[in-house]
Amino acid sequence: MGKSSKDLSVELTGKKKEVAIVRLTRPAKRNALSDGLILALRDAFQNLPASVRAAVIDGQGEHFCAGLDLSELKERDAGEGVHHSRMWHAALEAVQYGPVPVIAALHGAVVGGGLELASAAHLRVADATTFYALPEGTRGIFVGGGGSVRIPKLIGVARMTDMMLTGRVYNAEDGERVGFAQYLVAEGQALDKALELAGRIAQNAPLTNFALTHTLPRIAEQPADHGFMTEALMAAIAQSAPEAKQRVRAFLEGKAAKVAKS
């Protein structure tokens, strides 16, 4: 495992220890992301044990995460500011482009850098207490943890601009409606739902999960002509894996589940 931090814990769960719960454990400061905590997050995702097939990010206490630790926001010159932001980018890239799909289990405040962290996950499950905001706009600063790249992909440029210009806060229901979260659950249920999804995702062929987390977002950025070619290459690689052949055979022999109406 990587550098340990009192503000971050990594717990393995599941029969084969296939799901990692990466938890922010700084509830007294609403899980505000200090530099140390950002580096610990990076290290945790870069050093997940080989048994892990899916990960859940959770926050201890009443709130998922209050964003950047504002007590560390001291005078920085422009160069230091760039490096600080790039440090966040490296950490959140380790989440998004790490070895496994990541689900954020949200509750309470998901604000500023906390929303940037949630946006780096592949799926978000929110409970009824969740609220989303980008107070950077009213604090006289800008996002620096990849938010300007990732958040418009979830909710669109106009909504993000509104949040930062006006301080608009989205509640859990509206947050799901606009695309922050893929799942909305009752108060206190986000972690359980995230673990249920992680357990299911952990059963997928690892190469399919890799295609979805590493290749799909890149295809989405490519011109259509390049995207079709990348898709063809990825499809051919995925279906050539012995596991894919075995899964398709199992369906044809009536041994695998059909798609059922939900």
Interface residue list for ligand 1HE (CB under 6 A): 29-30, 32, 62-63, 66-71, 88, 109, 111-113, 135-136, 139, 143-145
Q: How far apart are CA 211 and CA 217, in angstroms?
A: 9
CB of 61 to ligand 1HE, least distance (A): 9
CB of 99 to ligand 1HE, least distance (A): 24
Nearer to ligand 1HE, 88 or 170 (CB): 88
Q: Which residue is nearest to ligand 1HE (CB)?
A: 112
Question: What single letter denotes the amino acid at residue 178?
Answer: V
Residue partners of 45: CB distance under 8 A and separation at least 6? 22, 55, 91, 94, 95, 98, 102
Nearer to ligand 1HE, 107 or 193 (CB): 107
User: What angle in degrees, to the nearest 10, is found between the helix axes of 224-240 and 242-252?
Assistant: 80
Taking the complex as a whole, how short is the minimal distance between the CB of residue 110 and ligand 1HE, in angstroms?
A: 9
- Looking at the Cβ atoms of 102 and 109, the one nearer to ligand 1HE is 109
- CB count within 10 Å of CB 246 equals 11
Active-site residue list: 116, 136
- Closer residue to ligand 1HE, CB minimum distance, 89 or 214: 89
For residue 193, the minimal CB distance to ligand 1HE (Å) is 22
